[in-house]
Amino acid sequence: MDVDLLFKIAAIGILVAVLHQVLCRAGREEQAMMTTLAGVVIVLTLVIKEISALFNTVRTLFNI
């Protein structure tokens, strides 16, 4: 729960971008789309976990 989370997401983003380019060059557009979707889903689950943690702390803090 610190800065490494930031770097993890940046790494996934760049990795997905590179994979997409490589697969497109290799003529496999569907696999490229699949890897992009997989990357998006992974990062989305990570982000949603963090946002729910933030919402819970704010809820307990301001006891909403």
Q: For binding to other proteins (CB under 8 A), which residues are involved? A: 1-3, 5-7, 9-10, 12-14, 16-18, 20, 36, 40, 43-44, 46-47, 50-51, 53-55, 57-59, 61-64
- CA dihedral angle for residue 48, residue 52, residue 58, residue 60, rounded to 10 degrees: -170
Give the DSSP letter of residue 64.
-
The least CB distance from residue 27 to other proteins, in Å, is: 20
Of 26 and 44, nearer to other proteins (C-beta) is 44
Q: d(Cα 45, Cα 57) in Å, to the nearest integer? A: 19
- Tokens 């997409």 correspond to 20
The least CB distance from residue 23 to other proteins, in Å, is: 14
